[in-house]
Amino acid sequence: MADEKRTWRIVPDTSVIIDGRLSSRIKSGEFRGAEVIIPEAVVSELEAQANKGKDIGFKGLDELSELRKLADREEIVLKFSGVQPTIEEIKLSKEGRVDALIRSTALEVGGLFLTEDRVQSIIAGAKGLDVEYVPPKVVDPSELGPLKIEHFFADDTMSVHLKNGVSPMAKRGPVGMVRYVRIRDEPITYPELSRISKELLERARVDPESFIEMSSDGATVLQIRNMRIAITHQPFSDDMEITAVRPTVIVDLEQYRLSDKLKERIVSQRGILIAGPPGAGKSTFAAGVARYLNERGQVVKTMESPRDLQVPPEITQYSPLNGRMEDTADLLLLVRPDYTIYDEVRKTGDFLIFADMRLAGVGMIGVVHATRAVDAIQRLIGRVELGIIPQVVDTVIFIDKGEVAKVLVLAFTVKVPHGMTEQDLARPVITIADFETGRVEYEIYTYGEQVVVMPIGTAVEGRKPAWKLAEEEIKNVISRYAKGPVEVEVTSDSSAIVKVRDAEMRKVIGKGGNVIDRIESMLGLHIDVRELEHEPSRPPGGRKYGAEAEPPSFKARAAGPEAGIGPSSAHPLIEMNKKHLILGVPELAGKDVEVYVEDEYLFSATVSRHGDVKLRRISDLASEIMEAQERGEIIEIRQI
């Protein structure tokens, strides 16, 4: 008589389904003939993960499909039970809401409860469930075979790019001579990509030297040994894509042929930026620096997201703690390493973390994208207070085509900026010099309200480079008071000529010269205000100042009939306050007048005893007058 077939009732949780362990044990015969009851909460959680584009969701759904095939072949009995979680419960799955629903289903139907979650197994046992904790797979690394994606790599391949419906591509060649080439004519297919993706996710779970770096909607980042792999699909990317990057070389610092002076500077706990364009070899150099420091007894840590620097095991690599590099920095400040390598410094928050750790006394090395060495320094401006930049970063090492192409050093001093001679123009200046020659190549300082990064070069056509910059700054300041055109000419290191419309000279000079005095004090220059005699051409319909018609001056108006403008007409001084547009004509106080623009009648009014005509700022007439003034058209008030 044949042995009676043993019947199992199995209730798996989400972790077991995602890992695919249940179907494997059924196929091996261990659970063949079992009644498998899937909690509806498991299905809902997998569906939510898949809808977010997470690979673990799709992997779990693949396992459900496999269980359905086994049920169709009558190797198991497959059922679904329990209640579906609400949207709120799915959102709070990390707090254990969904796990609680799964346990409730297991308690209701009975049977053997399978889980790979250690916490879940402890709680289930305490609740009285018959529970089996399935430890995560532990695989001997020596037993792991080659991955499918490795077949796309050659010895000189830096990265492989696989996208659905596109021929596989790769970046190949030595650092500095990398080429983007097709490595297979036949386009890769979605099923092929899916198999590669599934294998990579499985390897990240079972290989103790690999891990899942990040998993979010439509994107997963893995670290498989020395390969950094990004898997993306809809809705994040337009189609499924796998990008795998690995270092092609591990270079010691000695191979860069650095001077002893530069090596000593690196070891002495500095603030260093390693800059260069993408693919130039910045991370390779940073890893070489890390090994060099470690060999010389320095305690070195790294901050990376993802972790892909190739460093020895003595150097601990940190990723964002709780998803925040700020928390990682807080922890490192307690650890107090001699040096921290920050790969990569890109956003404002990264620069602030870098500065905070450097000012706390930690030696910092940041990896920054830049096309020139000075560009790396400019990225600090506006993010870090100007006066402390040399304390945060005192050295920039620029990498190009795998070589150290330039080294700049920063220093802080108080001096007259290059190109200026007056001693009262002395101010704090950051000098940027070539490390090997000591020659200053740039100066950073404030001019007015602007931060200047001034290259130190030869004067062009008798005019110093700083003068053009000064003219722009003066023009910006004067334009706050003069609405019309402004011309500026710097005539020396300490003086300039400013030309504005005669009607606007009052506002620029101010009562008793108080406005121009304030402007001169702000800019550190003497300014001579003159009348703008020739304005640029205006659009058709407006008058053009030039040889045919000189703009009337305030002096002429004040002089009366002998100057050509009688007391029966005047050109108003136009001002604006919060509520009104004010036309100032004190010489026509109390008179009935008509207002003209370019000899065209606009409206009639009575001038107040204070000598002005007020219009509501939001009125059409006020708007028309302001637009005419902006166009440079003549506005005239005539006594009726």
Q: Could you tell me the two tokens for 456? A: 């130190």
Encode pLDDT of 246-259 as tens digits: 876 667 788 888 88
Tokens of 176: 């500095």
Please state, in angstroms and rounded to a whole number, the distance separating the CA atoms of residues 533 and 500: 8
Q: Are 137 and 206 in contact (CB under 8 A)?
A: yes
Give the tens place of pLDDT for each residue, 177-225: 778 899 999 999 999 998 898 889 888 877 777 888 777 778 888 888 8
pLDDT, average across residues 539-555: 35
More confident residue, 198 or 555: 198
The secondary structure of residue 373, as a DSSP letter, is H
* Reported confidence tier of residue 396, pLDDT bands at 50, 70, 90: very high
Query: Which residues lie below 8 Å from residue 190, measured CB to CB, with a gap of 6+?
Result: 164, 165, 240
The conformation of residue 135, written as its DSSP 8-state character, comes to P
Q: Tell me the pLDDT tens digit for each residue of 32-48.
A: 888 999 999 889 888 88
Query: 227 in helix, strand or coil?
Result: strand
pLDDT digits (tens, 9 = 90+) for 258-299: 888 899 999 987 899 999 988 788 888 999 999 999 998 899
Tokens of 313: 């095991």
DSSP, collapsed to helix, strand or coil, labels residue 213 as strand
Each residue's pLDDT tens digit, 150-159: 999 988 888 8
Distance CA 162, CA 29 (A): 38
Write the DSSP assignment of 432-443 as a string of letters.
EEETTT--EEEE
Report the DSSP beta bridge partners of residue 639.
593
Local structure of 512: helix, strand or coil: helix
**How many angstroms separate the CA atoms of 224 and 211, rounded?**
7
Report which residue type is found at 388: I
CA 94 to chain centre: 30
- Rg of the chain in Å (alpha carbons): 37
List the structure tokens of 356: 């905070």
H or E, element range at 353: helix 348-359
Q: How many CA atoms lie within 13 A of 350 on its CB side?
A: 19
The position carrying tokens 């003549």 is 634
CA distance 416 to 286: 37
Q: How far is CA 328 from CA 322, 334, 363, 588, in A?
A: 8, 10, 16, 73
Distance CA 143, CA 136 (A): 16
Say if CB 610 and CB 623 are below 8 A apart: no
The model's pLDDT over 417-471, given as tens digits with 9 standing for 90+, comes to 877 766 667 888 999 998 888 888 899 988 777 888 888 854 334 456 667 778 8
Greater confidence (513 vs 477) lies with 477
Tokens of 444: 């950073």
pLDDT-based confidence at residue 630 (cuts at 50, 70, 90):
confident
Min mean pLDDT across 92-101, 365-374, 559-568, 569-578 is at 559-568
